[in-house]
Structure 1
């Protein structure tokens, strides 16, 4: 297992999940925990405010009980058999049928018309503020306007519309009702065109609109949104507030629930729905009984005629054969055939009745046809058993059967007619109201006990997604481990962000703005700014930095970032231990990564170990390392490469003779030409013999070609990266260019990494351990 030094610890390079693992994502959430908590708190507060200011909704429930009704047939069969007996309708199916009846237009339309639910009147309010003001308003009293906005509703407004008829083109569209002085009003269409003007209590009409407002409580100029819904939209809106369901399984108990912001209206509507359903149910039963009675009365004359004819035939046959009593075998045959004929006749009459309501392909008619087929087959089988009976006896039995069956059917139909007459007069149906709705004491919405906790959970989820999703889909590199794994590079270290370095950088900006640069090497001895003041009287001089300690490694040697740089120093010494010479180029893919910070402080820390170190500012376009050491930029690398000065003139001792520095020299128009000359390699070879380490601070690789030229002549190259600055594609292109230049990249250094909350204990240990270490280096 390969262990790599990273963040002053070790990272298991065999971990395949990297920064995308659940553990790493959890660490990232912990690092941004305050952002997550803030978002969760905001969502929870929003949920709480919603619960406080949302409209209270009440629900009233009425319970109906549905019983299985008696058979809808004629009930003629004296003893149902397996062929004629129909299975009872399951209670669940019966309940679902009644639920659909309750939700039908025939039951609900009268309720919608009774309560004028096809008209919606809503005061215009200021978003959010209007709901808040309404919560504090006194019911029945017009609230004073907030912020002087008298055209809006602030609580207590009311408009009762008894009649509103509009053309079909204006149905389900929002109209505007404007209150006028002295009880007047104006109704306008969505385009602002006035449709009608009127006075409260008097019906007004015009432009196809008819309206009657019975009460209007509003300030002059206040506006209401008015909608007259068509029948379909009104029914859909009503059904959104209506709940009809069976309580339990196969209980026959149906609960009718209606929701409204007015508890009294919710109660009244629920009870009226139940009453209207009962009235509709009874009316349907009475109508069914009336239709069945008409059918029976229409069949009685025919049945009476058939009975008379059967009796006459039997009488004539008995007179001819002088036989009044059939034999025992004939008795058995007669009784069986009579049973079959009675059942067949009953089903035939029921089929005739069904055909008035259903087609021949319906399930009800096909069931009766199937039963008739079974009875006819059974009858034929029964008759076959008596095939050997004498013809005279069989004829006598058949005639006796016909007469008795006709008589039984006729008597049964007369009884059914009398029963239907009584049923029609006293129908109560098979449903009744078990529990009437009562006024609800508490609202069912908003459900604070549910919404607020759910809001907190959703807030946490939103917070986690807010901090993780951008990181997940960002193309910029943030995790050092991801760089190691993706590019097969051994990380040299991670340098945490330093607030002290930010202050030092501001000081350097002040110095750059104030100090005078020598124009040539001859002016190199021009006075510098030893203490931060330049030709300004002391009493007027602004406070600036002390140039004797502008590097973090000198100013704050106990800083956590400096300690991380010491880890980088250790890694660099280890990586370059086998090299005969140690020319090290420090570069980066793009600007603003802090490569100059790493180069200058690493040079100081290498000198701290007793090594002879030369720091070269090779950024001939924008290099500013000279300001960090309080040195002039003149007489530097550009002059050396141009042959204007010797090396001894460009090298300036900084720390006890162990750290030396070469500035950029004057900025040139084409530094690539200077860096590509043989003189550059000659200088590096000369410096290799005189110093233990030569550190070259070069420009960014992707910005210019200078870095590639310098890296190709060096023994090793360090790539300075910064979190959320470079993309993976930029790093890949940088490595590709360095490889083409022949550079040996020993590893990346992650700079200015924010100290993660999950790693704070590690850095706290480091800070506490080195807090008392004294500063050891001063500029000579």
Structure 2
């Protein structure tokens, strides 16, 4: 198993809140321009919506709901006389709010203000709205001229008022086109392009079931408007979304009615109309109920009068026959005890008769009255049992007196209630009253421009952060975060090499191109200058980073007892040859003997880097075609020798799988301080795995955008299975991140000769 050569312990056992926040912050700084563009775009959209959307105005009125009359007959069940209304536990505000939003209240308002007829000018999105705003700022009443030849669209300044629109059922809830013609004329066209009717403004036009009256039309000839006649259901659904009824304070009895519309005057008028219609419907309902109750009372008064006469006659006859006008004290006590109960029973009987005329026998109201009657009759029976020893004459007199008094009480109360209901039926008051009428809304309720713009700014920031997170999660490579490699792969990172513009220049130099052409032609290069960054360039940030990496690697190699180092990479293009060549040159500059071997037998480039011939090399030694001494070549760097790859063999993997490579390295190791082997990509061929297993240590080169985290993990797994010792990783060609901008000026400050100088004494 591969083990990190350094005594490396991850700085943390897992992502923490602090590390995650710092990582997101770095990603945000690195993608700052993307975030800025997103924020600007979303904020501009919000600003456009805030200033270009058609404003809406809200008007509101306030009504007060009082406690309703609970006993329509006005009888007190305990006394049988006219009484104060029983106060319910809560106000019926919820029920009243539902009534306000009911069809009975809203439909008359919809018809009065033509809210079942929709008329909208046909506009070009956004541009048409801007033109409309420009037209509104002009002093002229003429419509705006057509832009770009689009004459059918409305560009601002148009006016139209459709008073009446009747269409056959097949055109209900269907948009029709009203096209303005010359001389205040117009035509209505269906969706198939058929002309349904033609007419002139100010005159009622009728044809084939279509009836329309346009009272005003100001528009260029050819301008089109969309007109639609809504069904009652659709009109109520649409109108109901604009109306709100709410109780600002629970159980206060105060209900607020609000209506929203693009026309402020219409919003005011409609709100007042809803409140007035609601109050009028409430008064009408109260009148209807009062009339129904009065009719019942009037039908019962003759019977109650006859009952009163009968009871009084019976009492008078009994007293005459018994020759007694004053009851005994015991009879008087019996009379008083049963009188109240009989009055309650009589009152409940009257209420039951009225309720039974409106509801069925099994309803809750009748069941409640029946339960109360049962309890009263039970109480009456108990009282009568207490006076069972009362003499028959006294008992008879008391009963007749009680019946007369109960009949009189009920009759008088019903007469009074009848007179009261006459007043109620003729009056205009209910238990709902208007508190405040709707005022003209001078300011728009929607959109709230500052709120919309602030929301757009916040939304832009959130989308920008989502963009950053998305970029971070979907990145092809983990190389932008060496810490992630250390944590996820338990792989020490020796250092990072920044992108070098000088190295890019060397790779594109004409000398390199000429060398490649010479090698293909089999001609030795004439220029043996080393095209290696560290060979001639001393004051370069990338070289400083490579020197630091070289120092760490040398300490690591000293612990292993082996001086053979393989430079590997997961995929082609990571910069393995660049790292291997520069590490070899840096070590040679320190006065050491270094051997650089090109182990990429398929596409070796080391010979090109140092201007050496590549006709013989490592492939010939492994194939036993050449002796080792013949393939070792000196180069322009003192102390550095090179073994090129040689001509590509037929089967490189077969050559590397033998013991010849191990024996070759064992033979060469005592003669050099360091042997560096450049290898092909691990995932492209098995050659690098075999070389790394033979070498003492292996360092993985990682480059942004070249390999994914999974590919890097697979590389370490293959090296581990082959028994290779992975010392760590080297991050190559790292881009300058905005989040690390303070880390970059320091090397350039010391490497730039123009910034050098002496400090004042």
Q: What's the TM-score once normalised by structure 2's chain length?
A: 0.90
Taking the aligned partners of 1:207 and 1:710, their CA distance within structure 2 comes to 94
Work out which of the residue numbers 114, 117, 132 in structure 2 matches 1:119: 117
The equivalent residue for 1:268 is 269
SS, match of residue 566 in structure 2: strand
Give aligned pairs, total.
Answer: 745
Taking the aligned partners of 2:88 and 2:192, their CA distance within structure 1 comes to 56
Sort the Cα spacing of 1:499 and 1:475 in 2 relative to 1 into closer, same or farther, 3 A: closer
SS, match of residue 62 in structure 2: strand
Taking the aligned partners of 1:364 and 1:470, their CA distance within structure 2 comes to 69
TM-superposed deviation, 1:110: 0.8
Pairing of 1:346-357 with structure 2 (within 5 A):
346-357=347-358
Return 655-664 or 396-405, whichever deviates more: 655-664
TM-superposed deviation, 1:37: 3.0
Pairing of 1:43-442 with structure 2 (within 5 A):
43-77=42-76, 88-91=87-90, 93-138=91-136, 140-205=141-206, 208-442=209-443
TM-superposed deviation, 1:370: 3.8
Work out whether 1:26 is the aligned partner of 2:28: no
Return 45-54 or 351-360, whichever deviates more: 351-360
The equivalent residue for 2:598 is 617
Taking the aligned partners of 1:52 and 1:498, their CA distance within structure 2 comes to 49
TM-superposed deviation, 1:506: 3.4
Q: Is the 8 A contact 2:79 2:340 kept in 1?
A: no
Q: Is the 8 A contact 1:517 1:634 kept in 2?
A: no
TM-superposed deviation, 1:669: 4.8
TM-superposed deviation, 1:397: 0.7
Q: Is the 8 A contact 1:189 1:195 kept in 2?
A: yes
Taking the aligned partners of 2:607 and 2:468, their CA distance within structure 1 comes to 40
TM-superposed deviation, 1:603: 2.1
Return 565-574 or 366-375, whichever deviates more: 366-375
Sort the Cα spacing of 1:272 and 1:677 in 2 relative to 1 into closer, same or farther, 3 A: same
> Over aligned residue pairs, what C-alpha RMSD do you find?
3.1
Encode CA deviations 1:51-99: one digit per residue, 9 max, x unaligned.
1111111111211122223444212338669xx99862345x4222221
Encode CA deviations 1:498-532: one digit per residue, 9 max, x unaligned.
34444443337x842786324576x32x534x8xx
Q: Is the 8 A contact 1:64 1:433 kept in 2?
A: yes
Taking the aligned partners of 2:411 and 2:57, their CA distance within structure 1 comes to 58
Return 682-691 or 100-109, whichever deviates more: 682-691
Q: Is the 8 A contact 1:654 1:661 kept in 2?
A: yes
TM-superposed deviation, 1:390: 1.6
TM-superposed deviation, 1:167: 3.8
Taking the aligned partners of 1:699 and 1:359, their CA distance within structure 2 comes to 96
SS, match of residue 74 in structure 2: coil
Q: Is the 8 A contact 2:588 2:594 kept in 1?
A: yes
Work out whether 1:553 is the aligned partner of 2:534: yes
Q: Is the 8 A contact 1:159 1:213 kept in 2?
A: yes
TM-superposed deviation, 1:402: 0.8
Sort the Cα spacing of 1:195 and 1:605 in 2 relative to 1 into closer, same or farther, 3 A: farther
Work out which of the residue numbers 482, 487, 508 in structure 2 matches 1:485: 487
The equivalent residue for 1:629 is 610
Point out where structure 1 has 5 or more consecutive residues left out of the alignment. 531-547, 776-780
Encode CA deviations 1:675-730: one digit per residue, 9 max, x unaligned.
33444334333332332222222111111222122222211111122344433332
Taking the aligned partners of 2:476 and 2:86, their CA distance within structure 1 comes to 70
SS, match of residue 622 in structure 1: coil
TM-superposed deviation, 1:771: 4.0
Return 282-291 or 717-726, whichever deviates more: 717-726
Taking the aligned partners of 2:497 and 2:193, their CA distance within structure 1 comes to 67
Pairing of 1:663-742 with structure 2 (within 5 A):
663-742=644-723
The equivalent residue for 1:569 is 550
Sort the Cα spacing of 1:767 and 1:726 in 2 relative to 1 into closer, same or farther, 3 A: same
SS, match of residue 317 in structure 1: helix
SS, match of residue 560 in structure 2: coil
Point out where structure 2 has 5 or more consecutive residues left out of the alignment. 757-761
Taking the aligned partners of 1:771 and 1:128, their CA distance within structure 2 comes to 55
SS, match of residue 719 in structure 2: helix
TM-superposed deviation, 1:212: 3.0
